[in-house]
Amino acid sequence: MKLKEIKINISPETRNFLISFIITAIITFILTYVPIWQLIIIPGIVGGLLNKTMRCGIYSGVLGVSIVWLFYMIYKMIAKDAYTHLDQFAGLIFGGLGYGWIIFILILLLGVLFGALGGAIGSGVMILLRPRLERGSTKSVETKNSTTGGGNIKK
Task: Count CB-CB contacts under 10 A for residue 23.
Answer: 17
What pLDDT is recorded for position 113?
96
148: left (phi over 0), alpha (psi -120 to 50) or beta: alpha
The whole-angstrom separation of Cα 2 and Cα 5 is 9
What is the per-residue pLDDT across 15-61, written as a single tens digit (0 to 9) for each? 999 999 999 999 999 999 999 988 999 999 999 999 989 999 999 99
What pLDDT is recorded for position 143?
58
What is the per-residue pLDDT across 87-142, written as a single tens digit (0 to 9) for each? 999 999 988 888 999 999 999 999 999 999 999 999 999 999 988 888 877 765 56
What pLDDT is recorded for position 69?
94
Q: Which residues contact 38 (CB under 8 A, 6 or more apart)?
A: 114
DSSP state of 58: H
The whole-angstrom separation of Cα 4 and Cα 64 is 33
